[in-house]
Amino acid sequence: MSNTQSFSLDFLKTLGIESINHGTSTGQQHFSSEEAIIKEIISPVDGKLIAKLSYTTEVEYKQVIQKAEAAFLIWRSTPAPIRGGIVRQYGNLLRQYKEPLGKLVSYEMGKMLQEGMGEVQEMIDICDFAVGLSRQLHGSTMHSERSNHRMYEQYHPLGIVGIISAFNFPVAVWSWNAMLAAVCGDVCIWKPSEKTPLSAIACQNLMAQVLKENNLPEGIFCLINGDYKAGEWMCNDTHVSLVSATGSTRMGKAVGAALAQRFGKALLELGGNNAIIISEHANLNLAMIATVFGAVGTAGQRCTTTRRLIVHESLYDTVKEKLIKSYAQLSIGNPLTGNLVGPLIDKAAVDAYINAIEQLKAEGGKVLYGAEVMQGEGYESGCYVRPTICEAENNYKIVQTETFVPILYLIKYRTLEEAIALQNGVKQGLSSSIFTDNMQEAELFLSSGGSDCGIANVNIGTSGAEIGGAFGGEKETGGGRESGSDAWKAYMRRQTNTLNYGKELPLAQGIKFNV
């Protein structure tokens, strides 16, 4: 057994997860004897079997729904600041377990250890945000046109919120949804990616401690494990008021259609095809750091990954030379030992990497650096690839496609208007960035005629959003918003109230109805 796996098994136990040496790790209570599918969880870091878990059966899912419905009756009547207090306790527990949970995220998913720790910190940050929010779930008051009437609006909990999360952020995106939904009075059922369920089980185990210590029903936070079928159960279930789904545009279309069929609410965070514009007025030092971090961080497996670099023609050759030099210095390997680039999630992702490069060449593009699947000692899992730089045109089919791998497409432009048109000239609309010290360029990029993305940055990259702002995108990115600002409203139902404290019944718009 490798040192890496011995190390990983230790912190699995710390987080309440049984290793392969101690049977099956389920992550939820089993209610029936119906035969379940057993899933093996393989680390892309070293190709080792971490643990086995059983998928939730449909019978068990229905019983989880019953538990959640019963818990909702209690939770919705709990004062919001008290609900915030539970989230605060969970945030404190995450602080206590930040190191082992961060290591588990890195080992199970493959992102570098700093990013694994950062993801747990993001959970802590959203807990802090939600605690403050629990005292600010306010509506508005309006003046009525009728005498002795008062109008106002208030927000009520929705009920059961289903959360479908993706492998690339196995814990943070759940917390964006679950912590806000919790202070809003909702109960949550989480369906994590079948590729990274152990991190979810660890989070569920920690939350179970908090609920037990406060004599609260475990149905407030539930976890189910499974593939797309488990997600379909939630999407088609009228007991689930809202489904927040993070993943591909293809998946989002299926989720949205299923929810629309039954008038359920959808919150979709889907694909990104993010670009950085490097202006002739850019600070190149800043731009290079942001580009490399955005393009190779998490091995290109972020929804906010920088996939296109749109460079002014006067700087194009200089930028190309600097990027190739930077990429040549990247350390690729085990992300738990200080390497900057870890593995792709699985061999299917490696195939997507190979196919994308071949398609680029077929369309007339040129590989400048990379295009290599790593082999030899330290790369036994078969999931490591060399981050790749290519010259391309924005209209190439492969450039128009979000490929979840570390491939960066370099595109040349002459005028800023052309650059913005290139930036907007894809179906996705998540994150965007411009590097310029010219105020007019920056303002134009942020104007209504500038970036059409949900996130538009100046002199910072496309990745690394803070939890204080609403996160989400436009077009085929789905249009949903999570995390900060007023994203909490998605987890509540709005109600307009009119109160008559007079002795007469005047009608709106001056209508007379005499009987």
Active-site residues: which are they? Answer: 269, 303
Helix axes 172-183, 113-133, angle to 10 degrees: 10
* Residue indicated by tokens 């009075």: 185
Contacts of 252 (CB under 8 A, 6+ apart): 245, 268, 270, 271, 476, 478
Per DSSP (E only), the strands in 94-186 are 141-143, 149-157, 160-164
List the one residue out of 458, 341, 404 whose CA is nearest residue 168: 404
Strands 428-429 and 474-475: antiparallel
Contacts of 462 (CB under 8 A, 6+ apart): 272, 274, 275, 276, 294, 304, 305, 306, 431, 432, 433, 455
DSSP secondary structure code for residue 411 in this structure: E
48: left (phi over 0), alpha (psi -120 to 50) or beta: beta
Distance CA(369)–CA(323), nearest Å, equals: 9
Helix axes 113-133, 98-109, angle to 10 degrees: 120
Q: What angle do CA 253, 483, 260 make, to 5 degrees?
A: 25
Per DSSP (E only), the strands in 445-487 are 455-458, 470-471, 474-475, 482-483
- Dihedral angle, C-alpha 234, 239, 242, 243, nearest 10 °: 0
For residue 505, CA distances in Å to 3, 142, 145, 148 come to 78, 19, 13, 10
Separation of CA 148 from chain center: 48
Q: Are 12 and 51 in contact (CB under 8 A)?
A: yes
Distance CA(270)–CA(166), nearest Å, equals: 10
